[in-house]
Amino acid sequence: MHPQKTYPSAIGASEPADGRIDGVLSPRQRLALNCVRARYLSLLGLAQEFILLLAVDRARAGVGEADPIAARAYPEFAAAEANPVELFARTTARRTEGEP
């Protein structure tokens, strides 16, 4: 038989652990965790930039010349990918300036 779960316990279990983890870490551990987060953010930003460059490159190369749908899709995909790239760049700049 499974134990009964309540809505408050389910909500509590689904919340991000960041706040709870930060509360039990020492300042040195918190600094290490922030460094890991920053590296992860940088890695995600690089991946987004690569995807954007690939999409732009494919659009310029005329990959979609034989396929008119692909010809429209690559530039639209590249435009959509530019948004996360800008977000990562702004977030990285804020972290560099010392803002959270």
Mean pLDDT of 73-99: 76
Mean pLDDT of 74-80: 81
- What is the per-residue pLDDT for 11? 67
Q: Which residues of 54-82 are buried (b: 16+ CB within 10 A; e: fewer)?
A: ebbebbeeeebeeeeeeeebbeebbeebe
Burial class (CB in 10 A: 0-12, 13-18, 19+), 39: exposed
- What is the per-residue pLDDT for 7? 64
Q: Is 3 left (phi over 0), alpha (psi -120 to 50) or beta?
A: beta
What pTM, to 2 d.p., does this model score?
0.54
- What is the per-residue pLDDT for 18? 57
| H-helix segments, 1-100 | 7-14, 18-24, 27-60, 68-96
- Per-residue pLDDT reduced to its tens digit, 57-70: 877 776 656 777 77
